[in-house]
A and B are shown apart, each in its own frame.
Chain A
Amino acid sequence: MQLDYTFHAMGSDVRLLIGSRLRRTACSPLDAADREKAFVLEFGRRLSRFVADSELSALNRDPRSTVPASALLRAAVRAGLWAAERSGGLVEPTLVGALERVGYSASRDGVVPASLREALDGAPERRPARRDPRSRWGEIVVDDEAGTIVRPAGVMLDTGGTGKGLCADAVACRLSDYTRYLVDCGGDIAVGGIGAQFEPYEIDVEHPLTGEKIARINLDRGGVATSGLNVRIWRHSDGSFAHHLLDPSTGEPAWTGLIGATALGGSALEAETLSKMALLGGPEAARRVLAEHGGMIVHDSGDVEAIGPLNSRLSAPSAIPAVA
């Protein structure tokens, strides 16, 4: 028996699959789902840079270099710094100014995305994104004992790049009293529970151009996430296109030859970080990034390529077309 519970939060659909109770004292799966929905809504509200009175917005407005911060905000910033460290600075949390300059200054929840095919036709020459040597994320310190975040004055933080993965992991931890659980925060998915070891979850991968299911992954633990250009993409009044995955070295949208990347990881946060690293790094780097845990990339042409140990987890490996 499994509860299937879906709601909308953080600009995406959030889905919880919760198995039976492991302990008699645990609340029912439905009560647990209600509880986690409240947690996710609160998580999103407190950490959104689009909500003026959120803790993140307050941090970004604060002129001091040392700012008191709640445990949640510290955890979110720490996750962003972890991703920056893990990715060698490709996935970094201080690109708020650049995001606003390219037009991502308000939530795009519910906004119809521009055509990715048209955007690809007019996109500049493809090249891998690179870290920004001038970036100051390395100077940010999260001090849990003092309950503060120390960062150079004026540096603004965005937890959006890692927030959904972190949230999925947090909710998964909170569901450890159940036999099996899957937490899907807008496509960033965390899986766990003893039941999933024996009967893994089957997770579909969506093609960013066609929306078709291109593969089905068996996942018994950890996380899987997908990054792509097809949802947060818009057209400027001059006819040019922009999206939300920026090249840190230029502050401009990255056009790397990939339009989507799916990564497996030890957690949803790691999977989300790896998928962004893969997409930003381009095809060659993606093959290296995804070699350890496995993953999948989608080229500008729409061709799909499975990488590393992903093949052993696919329900139907033949569903992936050969790379041209």
Chain B
Amino acid sequence: MAAVTTTRPRRATGPDRITVMLLTVTVFLVILGALAWQMRSAPARPRHRIVVLRRVYETRVVETVVGAPGGGSSVTQSVSSSGSASALPTAPTTRTS
């Protein structure tokens, strides 16, 4: 006896595709309109001026030998500074040594 297979037609349980598309487009347009309205009604804000602060850091290392020549301890001072002209070191000097 041959088996009889019957396929029951699928019943749509929600809104059909066209309704979904229409709803999606409608929601999109509503959101777009709301945004456009907000932007138009917002007060005009002044344009920000961009200021670039350039900081020049100078690292100066001064090592001073304390004690006997050749065998003394060393004190190292490392200074980071910016800006001040007074922090500039003296010019190199050629001299008798």
Residues of A whose CB lies within 8 Å of any CB of B are 1-8, 11-12, 15, 17, 29-30, 33, 37, 107, 109-110, 164, 182, 184-189, 201-206, 208, 213, 216-217, 224-232, 260, 262
Q: Are B93 and A187 in contact (CB under 8 A)?
A: yes
13 A-B pairs with CB atoms under 8 Å apart are A5-B61, A7-B63, A11-B69, A15-B92, A107-B69, A182-B92, A187-B95, A202-B92, A204-B91, A204-B94, A205-B94, A213-B93, A229-B96
Docked complex: B40-88 residues within 8 A CB-CB of A: 56-65, 69-70, 74
Q: Does B97 make an interface contact (CB < 8 A)?
A: yes
Residue of chain B at shortest CB distance from A207:
B95
Q: What's the least CB distance linking A161 to chain B, in Å?
A: 12
- How many A-B contacts if CB must be within 8 Å? 96
Residues of B whose CB lies within 8 Å of any CB of A are 56-65, 69-70, 74, 89-97
Q: In the complex where A8-B65, A107-B69 touch, is A187 in contact with B94 (Cβ < 8 A)?
A: yes
Which listed residue (A33, A110, A164, A201) contacts B92, Cβ 8 A?
A: A201
Contacts of B61 in A (CB 8 A): 3-6, 30, 33
Contacts of A109 in B (CB 8 A): 69-70
- Complex CA distance for A101 and B5, rounded to whole angstroms: 126
- Complex CA distance for A48 and B63, rounded to whole angstroms: 22
Q: Are A12 and B94 in contact (CB under 8 A)?
A: no
Q: In the complex where A6-B63, A109-B69 touch, is A203 in contact with B93 (Cβ < 8 A)?
A: yes
